[in-house]
Amino acid sequence: MKSDIRVCSAWHEAHDRPVYTLSESCPDCGAETANSAPAPFDPTDPHGEYRRALKRRNR
């Protein structure tokens, strides 16, 4: 799942607060932007397979 909202990857050094945008680069400093949303799940989760199987079973 990809989020449309992105945050400046250099906001800690270049800005006082996070700068959010929809583009691939920061409008203020020109740095690259990163996806602002965390991943919906951790692919290395050791119990993820069981959780997903339980979710499928309860549908």
d(CA 38, CA 36): 7
Instruction: For residue 6, tell me if it sits in a domain.
Output: yes
Closest C-alpha among 41, 12, 5 to residue 51: 41
Neighbours of 33 (CB within 10 A): 21
pLDDT of residue 51: 85
Residue 5 pLDDT greater than 80, yes or no: yes
Residue 2 pLDDT greater than 70, yes or no: no
User: Number of structural domains, the chain?
Assistant: 1
Give mean pLDDT, residues 12-38. Answer: 91
Residue 1 pLDDT greater than 60, yes or no: no
| Contact present, 3 and 40 (Cβ < 8 Å) | no
Statement: the pTM of the whole predicted model exceeds 0.75: no
pLDDT of residue 30: 92
| Residue 14 domain boundaries | 1-39
Instruction: For residue 52, tell me if it sits in a domain.
Output: no
